[in-house]
């Protein structure tokens, strides 16, 4: 897709990419795209159990698990897009490689709260990714109640 620029110029002379064009391109992905999932698991020895849970959840729900990304414990204090694992997930979402992000628990998305909220908003709104928690079944951002549950559990502001 060619880039379309609109809006105000940044100081370096570039202009803001049209958010709506990118958003619609991701939202127009085929239904099969929603069946593609990436797992995101954070934290030490718990990540082994989290990975098992993510794999089992994907199998039970008929999702094709593209990969499971494990994040180191120390990385959780950084902005999500500065974490190696989450940066990989974000890039894959931007490239349209998957439609569902499975997390072992909602807290895996937290850390640097403002940056985490921004990254989650991009996943949901810009890239059209559905976020589901395998340990908290009420967190499923394909529904309004699931978005609210994610906001409540993670402390993030989730776009509706």
Which is it for the CA torsion 39, 40, 44, 46, positive or negative? negative
pLDDT at 58: 95
pLDDT at 145: 92
pLDDT at 28: 52
Tell me the pLDDT of the chain (160 aa) as tens digits: 333 333 444 444 444 444 444 545 555 554 455 689 999 888 765 678 889 999 999 999 999 999 999 887 665 565 677 778 888 998 899 888 999 999 888 877 776 555 667 778 888 888 889 999 999 899 898 899 988 888 877 666 666 6
Q: How far does Cα 104 stand from its chain's mean position?
A: 12
Residue closest to 39 by CA, chosen among 68, 64, 10: 68
Please state, in angstroms and rounded to a whole number, the distance separating the CA atoms of residues 70 and 84. Answer: 9
Task: For residue 83, give every residue at least 6 positions away whose Cβ sits within 8 Å of its Cβ, in sequence order, or none.
Answer: 71, 75, 76, 111
Q: Please, what's the largest Cα pairwise distance for the chain?
A: 50
Residue closest to 159 by CA, chosen among 130, 121, 128: 121
Instruction: Catalogue all structural domains in the chain, each as residue range(s) with its CATH number.
Output: 31-154 (3.40.50.1390)
pLDDT at 95: 87
Instruction: Compute φ and ψ for 71, nearest 5 degrees.
Output: -105, 135
pLDDT at 1: 32
Q: 3-state class of 98 per DSSP?
A: coil
pLDDT at 3: 36
pTM over 0.85: no
pLDDT at 11: 46
Please state, in angstroms and rounded to a whole number, the distance separating the CA atoms of residues 68 and 124. Answer: 19
The number of residues in the chain equals 160
Q: 3-state class of 59 per DSSP?
A: helix
The token duo for 142 is 């394909």
């Amino acid at each position: 897709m060619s880039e379309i620029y609109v809006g105000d110029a940044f100081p370096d002379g570039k202009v803001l990419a049209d958010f709506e064009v990118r958003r619609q391109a991701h939202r127009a992905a085929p239904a099969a795209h929603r069946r593609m999932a990436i797992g995101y698991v954070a934290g030490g020895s718990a990540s082994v159990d989290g990975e098992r849970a993510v794999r089992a959840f994907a199998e039970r729900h008929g999702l094709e698990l593209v990969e499971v990304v494990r994040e180191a414990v120390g990385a959780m204090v950084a902005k999500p897009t500065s974490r190696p694992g989450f940066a990989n997930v974000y890039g894959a979402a931007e490239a349209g490689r998957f439609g569902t992000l499975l997390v072992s628990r909602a807290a895996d998305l937290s850390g640097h709260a403002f940056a985490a909220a921004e990254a989650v908003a991009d996943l949901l709104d810009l890239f059209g990714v559905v976020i589901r928690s395998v340990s908290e079944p009420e967190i499923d951002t394909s529904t309004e109640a699931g978005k609210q549950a994610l906001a409540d559990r993670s402390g993030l502001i989730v776009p509706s």
